[in-house]
């Protein structure tokens, strides 16, 4: 695969650049495609997170350089920075920075959730709807997170050794930080002044799409974007932490088919064939009927709006959709093979502009109003005594370790790599030190 890469794509592959805002898709793949528009995803619609705004504010020139490099690599004639309108000062700064460059512009987004979903973002910026089950490049767009572009700009000098994240919620000093990969979550929380509650849990990645973490010894990775610390008894932690049997048992008996989960679903409002209330109805059936009803989940983006906001009964249609997608994948049912796939192009629902979910109301519904706080970037360098760097931090195959216990490593040295014909990127040392163990993670001690 890498043999056909252009010089820029090869460089960002060597530097280990992956999508910092999502599952960690290796960025060289996007950089090798041909596109008309590159979109900088600065929507940051997860409540309380702030690190993307901080990166845009502090490293404007480098993010713009990353954007230009990616435009050149993909042949794109248009570069758009998509940022929420509420960040007025930041927008002024960005507009001043791109002034005179006809190819670059700033798109002001409303303060809605999930403004950063690729399907929503591409529609807002280009007016085009991605084909059902497809990806942005099918309508000539490439979408990249702010931090990813910063890492692309730096790739000729330094590989990805650090990650940016916001640490907020029940902590003494909410802040955004830049930390070496493999630093523990507990150190990140301590740097934010420590938890203010006795029995904390955290949402790793955000209140909506993040996962619940109670083991704070886990390492930060290239895709870590935020830790929202909350008391373990907080309703959000409880609801997100409930398992599939609980969600399905309660959903089966309590769903009254009011359809609100569907009416407010961002993908449904864009005109896609997704109807979570029908997936909930399917819980009442056994196979193969359930399989048929579950297909209404295939185009779900897993934003969890229906679970954490729309459903008046506090049920979990979004989680049920995620499980249904997993089951269908095992049965080899995809959108391509789905009986719902009529081949028709989607058309945005005329009521969409009036049904988008304001983040302010979402925060209230999530019980996060008490945790609203500025989380500015603290630029000091933190050097942990020990890091544990996972060999798999990206979509694709895990990196294979190239170091052994007892070996000294330099900052940025390759710890593991992926064969060039397979999807993946190398991982690098984030501190200078001695390798103390090698397994799923490489542990380095100073
Ligand atoms: S909103 Fe809740 S109660 Fe209404 S159909 Fe959806 S899951 Fe059922
Ligand atoms: S999680 Fe719910 S609201 Fe979000 S896309 Fe899926 S079905 Fe729609």
Tell whether domain 162-234+367-384 is in CATH 3.10.20.600.
yes
Interacting residues of 216 by C-beta distance below 8 A, sequence separation 6+: 184, 185, 186, 189, 200, 202
- Looking at per-residue pLDDT, the higher value among 446 and 290 belongs to 446
CATH class of 385-446: mainly beta
Residue 99, burial from CB neighbour count under 10 angstroms (0-12, 13-18, 19+): exposed
Q: Residue 3 has what pLDDT? A: 52
Q: What is the pLDDT of residues 293-331, one digit of tens each?
A: 999 999 999 999 999 999 999 999 999 999 999 999 999
Q: Which tens digits make up the pLDDT trace of 274-289? A: 999 999 999 998 777 8
Any ligand 1 atom below 6 A from CB of 188? no
Distance CA 136, CA 142 (A): 6
Cβ–ligand 1 contact at 366 (below 6 Å): no
pLDDT of 1 strictly over 50: no
Instruction: Output the residue whose Cα is nearest ligand 1's atom 1.
Output: 311
Q: How far is CA 226 from CA 317, 382, 390, in A?
A: 25, 17, 18
pLDDT digits (tens, 9 = 90+) for 394-420: 899 999 999 999 999 999 999 999 998
The ligand 1 atom at the shortest distance from the C-alpha of residue 260 is: 1
Domain 2-154: give its CATH code. 3.40.50.11540
Q: Cα of 319 to ligand 2 centre, how many Å?
A: 9
Convert the pLDDT of each residue in 195-246 to its tens digit.
999 999 999 999 999 999 999 999 999 999 999 999 999 999 999 999 999 9
H or E segment to which residue 270 belongs: none
Give the separation between CA 371 and CA 407, rounded to whole angstroms.
44
> Which atom of ligand 1 is closest in space to residue 251's alpha carbon?
7
d(CA 409, CA 7): 27
Provide the whole-model pTM.
0.95
Burial per residue of 271-304, b for 16 or more beta-carbon CB atoms within 10 angstroms, e otherwise: bbbbbbbbbbbbbeeeeeebbbbbbbbbbbbbbb
Does the CB atom of residue 308 touch ligand 1 within 6 A?
A: no
Q: Of the bound ligands, which one is closest to the alpha carbon of residue 314? A: 1
The length of the chain in residues reads 446
Q: What share of the chain is helix, strand, coil (3-state, %, to 5)?
A: 35, 20, 45
| Number of Cβ within a 10 Å radius of residue 212 | 17
Q: Which ligand is nearest to the CA of 296?
A: 2
List, for residues 127-155, the tens digit of each pLDDT value: 999 999 999 999 999 999 999 999 999 99
Helix ranges (H only) for 288-358 are 289-294, 305, 317-330, 352-355
Q: Which residue is closest in CA terms to ligand 1's atom 8?
A: 255
Which ligand 1 atom is nearest residue 259's CA? 5
Domain borders along the chain are 2-154, 162-234+367-384, 241-356, 385-446
CATH 3.40.30 matches 241-356: no
Kindly tell me if the per-residue pLDDT of 190 is higher than 90: yes
2-154 and 385-446 agree in CATH topology: no
């Amino acid at each position: 695969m890498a043999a056909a890469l252009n010089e820029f794509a090869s460089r960002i592959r060597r530097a280990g650049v992956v999508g910092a805002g999502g599952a960690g898709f290796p960025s060289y793949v996007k950089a090798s495609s041909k596109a008309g528009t590159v979109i900088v995803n600065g929507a940051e619609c997860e409540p309380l997170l702030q690190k993307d705004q901080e990166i845009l504010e502090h490293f404007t020139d480098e993010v713009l350089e990353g954007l230009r490099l990616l435009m050149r690599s993909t042949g794109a004639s248009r570069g758009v920075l998509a940022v929420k309108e509420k960040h007025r000062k930041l927008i002024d700064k960005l507009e001043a920075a791109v002034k005179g460059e006809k190819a670059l512009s700033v798109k002001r987004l409303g303060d809605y959730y999930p403004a950063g979903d690729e399907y929503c973002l591409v529609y807002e910026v280009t007016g085009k709807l991605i084909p059902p089950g497809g990806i942005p490049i099918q309508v000539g767009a490439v979408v990249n997170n702010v931090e990813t572009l910063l890492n692309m700009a730096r790739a000729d000098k330094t590989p990805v050794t650090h990650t940016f994240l916001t640490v907020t919620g029940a902590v003494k000093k909410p802040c955004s930080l830049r930390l070496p990969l493999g630093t523990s979550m507990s150190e990140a929380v301590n740097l934010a002044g420590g938890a203010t509650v006795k029995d904390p849990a955290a949402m790793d990645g955000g209140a909506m799409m993040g996962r619940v973490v109670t083991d704070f010894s886990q390492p930060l990775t290239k895709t870590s974007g935020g830790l929202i610390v909350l008391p373990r008894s907080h309703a959000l932690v409880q609801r997100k932490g409930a398992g599939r049997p609980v969600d399905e048992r309660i959903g089966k008996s309590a769903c009254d088919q009011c359809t609100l989960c569907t009416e407010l679903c961002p993908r449904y409002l864009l005109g896609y064939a997704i109807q979570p209330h029908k997936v909930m109805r399917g819980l009442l059936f056994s196979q193969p009927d359930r399989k048929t009803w579950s297909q209404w989940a295939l185009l779900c983006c897993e934003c969890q709006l229906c679970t954490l906001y729309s459903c008046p009964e506090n049920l979990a249609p979004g989680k049920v959709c995620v499980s249904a997608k997993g089951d269908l994948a095992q049965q080899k049912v995809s959108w391509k093979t789905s009986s719902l796939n009529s081949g028709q192009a989607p058309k945005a629902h005329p009521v969409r502009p009036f049904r988008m979910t304001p983040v302010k109301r979402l925060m209230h519904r999530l019980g996060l109003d008490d945790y609203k706080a500025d989380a500015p970037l603290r630029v000091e360098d933190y050097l942990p005594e020990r890091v544990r760097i996972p060999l798999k931090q990206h979509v694709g195959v895990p990196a294979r370790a190239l170091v052994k216990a007892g070996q000294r490593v330099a900052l940025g040295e390759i710890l593991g790599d992926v064969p060039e014909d397979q999807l993946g990127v190398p991982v690098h040392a984030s501190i200078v030190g001695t390798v103390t163990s090698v397994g799923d993670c490489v542990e380095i001690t100073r």
